[in-house]
């Protein structure tokens, strides 16, 4: 995976940029579709068939395809009770590393769980109720988005380990200069 330096000191992969762009376009299309549905329903008294199904599929895609970008920006809900108090210290860096490793394990389990779902839906030829869209196409974004999140977490674990090592080296050099 090629990493491009964007947005300050944070690294962003091309895959994340594509997934976030995809999510942004889906949000715009979904807003247009919902507005069209409302206008059609209340102005012309003719609702558009399957619009709720399309919107629900879009929400699933938007959620999973934007997970890695949200992790990059640290926009997920978190508790900063201990990490704020320990910020800048080695213990805080280690605590953040432990939390990232726990997230890696959790997301790896999620990837393993959602990875087989599209194959099962494809084999059973499962279709949506109204528009008869193959469900495996929608279920495919779940493992893709989760995998992108796992890659992002891997990058952050590497950056955190590098930060801990730099912190230790700086501390050792200060101790040597004090002698």
Q: pLDDT tens digits for 133-163?
A: 999 999 999 999 999 999 999 988 998 898 8
Cβ neighbours for 145, distance < 8 A, ≥ 6 positions apart: 19, 63, 64, 65, 66, 67, 68
Measured CA to CA, the distance from residue 85 to residue 61 in angstroms comes to 37
- Strand-pairing partners, residue 11, are 5
For residue 132, pLDDT beyond 50: yes
Model pTM score: 0.79
Of residues 8 and 44, more confidence is placed in 44
Q: pLDDT tens digits for 80-131?
A: 665 566 566 667 778 888 889 999 999 999 999 999 999 999 999 999 999 9
Of residues 145 and 12, more confidence is placed in 145
Residue of 145, 111, 105 lying closest to 23 (CA atoms): 145
DSSP symbol at 127: B
Delimit the domains of the chain by residue range.
Answer: 3-178
Residue 15: its pLDDT value, please?
Answer: 78
DSSP symbol at 130: S
The token duo for 131 is: 């528009």
Measured CA to CA, the distance from residue 103 to residue 143 in angstroms comes to 16
Residue 166: its pLDDT value, please?
Answer: 84
């Amino acid at each position: 995976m090629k990493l491009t330096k964007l947005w300050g000191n944070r690294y962003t992969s091309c895959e994340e940029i594509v997934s976030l762009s995809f999510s942004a376009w889906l949000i715009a299309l979904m807003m247009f579709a919902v507005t069209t549905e409302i206008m059609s329903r209340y102005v012309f008294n003719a609702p558009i068939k399957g619009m709720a199904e399309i919107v629900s599929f879009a929400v699933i895609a938007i959620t999973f395809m934007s997970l890695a970008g949200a992790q990059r920006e640290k926009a997920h809900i978190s508790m900063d009770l201990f990490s704020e108090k320990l910020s800048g210290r080695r213990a805080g860096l280690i605590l953040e590393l432990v939390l990232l490793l726990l997230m890696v394990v959790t997301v790896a389990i999620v990837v393993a769980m959602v990875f087989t779902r599209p194959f099962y839906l494809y084999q059973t030829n499962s279709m949506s109720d109204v528009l008869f869209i193959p469900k495996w196409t929608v279920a495919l974004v779940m493992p893709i988005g989760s995998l992108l999140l796992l890659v992002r977490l891997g990058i952050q674990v590497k950056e955190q380990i590098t930060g801990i090592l730099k912190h230790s080296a700086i501390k050792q050099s200060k101790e040597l200069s004090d002698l």
